[in-house]
Structure 1
């Protein structure tokens, strides 16, 4: 074994918020919490992937049917690796939560597997392999969750262009996850097939304001620009008590907010931690009154994407 060759590593990948109202399938950001954790152990057999799942897990055991397994296998095959990998999954981001569960699994898998190589691998290769895993879960290769999970920060992912990192607004985000299931396919089925030109123009104007405000360091103006003109109105009826949550969060001091990905999670933008705590408490009261199980998180935009360290340093 060479000094640079590792036998086992531990990787982390962050939860993410996609779309941000104005950037459907284009914008995404990484959160400080929650994070997915995964261990990767080197196997002798080339290009073989084995999965170790948590007790009681309902995730597929076959690498070809598992998001993490598919992503790792793609990386091993594309690099013609001389070794295989055993992946041990620890799910901290619930599937179907709307905060990038499948993307975090796919990204953690490729980052962990890549750490077992003796040389650094290019990020665009890791992105492509993670998308192979994400496609298994969502049926598409959109980067809006995968890219921020891999790169960290606030990311713009044009469909036919380079991944672009944007300056981060100084936001404190409140994430509310009602523990109900909304399938991505159902959330996409309610979207309008066409939108009026005026709606498109207004949406582009808000997107332009958002990007400009980010570059100017104007956090408030960036938040104000998060206007959802056609995606949110179509999906909001799928989310339990969303309208009440929206009114509650804004009354408690949030500047803006919306649906995270396909839902059911929602995000609420605050400009300081004290306001975020008030918003979180107010949203919790809505869920308790409605008798809906939930989780809440408070997070800034994470500067760090997925990373891996030797197992000995992960304790």
Structure 2
């Protein structure tokens, strides 16, 4: 599809994947007045978008005439299926959208393969992984990192602005995937460090909520430390990102470091601690269980403090630390 004559304000947009993240992101587009049609394997999960002016279709093929199609799926195999599988978006080479924007977290290898499949059919492919979860999306705080053809990025930049607070273009190809992996390495390292110092001060007689309130209001506090504080204070490990997913990203990050001859000593040590969290079998909980492991190694028994803590995304809450 020729995008050169498309009016950016009148793009027809498709959306594939309306899980917890996808539906929240698509809702922001629909509420902004974007002409949006969504598909999901379980149609019922896409139905709420109708309340915000979006349409829902019963087949991926119905999205082939869109100017832009976003994908937000769970894994590499899912992305391959919705693009190239039976009835997939690219299954008919003569009838394809103009741009595919993939916001999923997939391997670089899959991203390269999907990019090549798109290019063979004259489709521009943008890798646009995100930082955040459903609550972050709804609060308008999602961040995106994007790589691929610059003209395609400029075409969809206004759409990305509706989805999150920032979208950073980092170059051609699949460099966005490396950026997201580096981001998640820091995610693990910071959480482990946060667990260590929180256990240190609690064993010294300071409550977790008092310490984290101080930390979050200091120069060392961040949006992330504030965001994770309710989980640390109230020990609610409802999953936002599991130890298995974090271990996968550490494996990818350390492999990338070897390939580029970059030493990552702190990340390598943290990877072993993430592996220890997986070894506990608590793989369905949030990776914040790193706090529990640090406490156990320190001879400290943790108990929920049942204190409402501001996560920086909305009203302070005991019930929803995610």
Task: Identify the structure with bigger relative contact order (alpha carbons < 8 Å, sequence gap 6+).
Answer: 1
Is this a same-fold pair by TM over 0.5?
A: no
User: For this structure pair, what is the TM-score category when the shorter chain's length is used for normalisation?
Assistant: under 0.3
TM-score in terms of structure 2 length: 0.27
Q: Normalized per residue, which structure has more strand?
A: 1
> What is the TM-score with the length of structure 1 in the denominator?
0.28
Bigger Rg, structure 1 or 2:
2
